[in-house]
Amino acid sequence: MKIDSKGNLIVGATAILIVSLLLICIFVITSINYIQTENIDSQSNDNFKYIIEDYTQNLKIYGRDAIAKTTQKVFNGLPVTNSEKQIKNNLNKVLDKKNKEYEEKYDAKIISDVLSVENTDSPWKILFKVKLNIQKDNEKYSKIIEKNASVEGLRDPLPIAKLTILSGILTYDNQIHYKTGLSAYMLLHNLDSPESYIEATAPLYIKKCPYDPYIHHGDPGVLDDCLKQGYFHESADGSCYLCRLEGKGKCPHYGFEVFIQTHTPIKNETLSCSDHVVFADHYNGKKINPDDWNSLILDSSHRKKYGLINDG
């Protein structure tokens, strides 16, 4: 009886041990599968997040490319009557191409639609709003994305858009050379002393002036450096980039202005040299230094704005 009892105890203990081992194995296998599944889900989620971040971060680059393509159209001599619509069309074409690339590379289906192209509080940036839908496997993303694209470093389209390439304007050495185009425009509009603007020049590329507040242009050497570097300045009267593409010398938006520099010995009173004055407002100024061929021609309000009120 004792032997049988011991045998039963051994058999029972062995059975319990086997069952315990089986339960432990099942638990371990289940845990491993769970961890692997979690890792797969985590990797899939991380990949999806990467696709979203990569695409949305590049929107400002694609937006700038769309603006630059519109600017090129102006420099090709073709008119842009609705810059927002033209840029939207350009960007949608860029995004359609990118969407196919992302689908081929990441197996992600992307549907995009450019809702608007807008001015911002800063004349140096343009706002894009893009409706975005992305799907990969069971992951979905839908949102309206807003990105700002900078116009700094792009060419100023206003002179070409306003006067057209038929006026004889040339662009080289990072400058716009008006030749006789601007004086012909002034003659056509019965403006004073158009001969003063023969061979006038202006910066070609948009560069934000670092001398802010602008009154510091009256400090020694600042104006000379500003003209040498070809800086543009914020202006409530100046034309924004979107309107410059359409050839508008003035617009209701917050824009910028640049000096059109004359190179003449003539001392007659003529148009103040801020570009919005030359192309839209049409009021006169005088040379800061009457004896300097390269002197700016400015009215009293612009002299005050740039700290030049006591010069001349």
* Whether the Cβ atoms of residue 216 and residue 99 lie closer than 8 Å to each other: no
CA-to-CA dists, residue 223 to 146, 156, 266, angstroms: 37, 21, 21
Residue 34 main-chain phi, psi, to 5 deg: -65, -45
Residue 47, Cβ neighbours under 10 Å: how many? 16
pLDDT in tens, 103-153: 999 999 999 999 999 999 999 999 999 999 999 988 999 999 999 999 999
Residue with tokens 């390439």: 165
SS3 164: coil
Helices (H) and strands (E) in the chain, counts: 9, 11
* 47, two tokens: 């990949």
SS3 130: strand
pLDDT in tens, 213-247: 999 999 999 999 999 999 999 999 999 999 999 99
CA dihedral in degrees (161, 260, 65, 55; nearest 10)?
A: -130
How far apart CA 179 and CA 172 sit, in angstroms, is: 12
How far apart CA 63 and CA 56 sit, in angstroms, is: 11
pLDDT tens, the chain, 312 aa long? 444 555 566 666 666 767 667 766 666 555 545 444 334 344 567 888 899 999 999 999 999 999 999 999 999 999 999 999 999 999 999 999 999 999 999 999 999 999 999 999 999 999 999 999 999 988 999 999 999 999 999 999 999 999 999 999 999 999 999 999 999 999 999 999 999 999 999 999 999 999 999 999 999 999 999 999 999 999 999 999 999 999 999 999 999 999 999 999 999 999 999 999 999 999 999 999 999 999 999 999 999 999 998 644
pLDDT attached to residue 183: 97
Residue with tokens 């343009």: 126
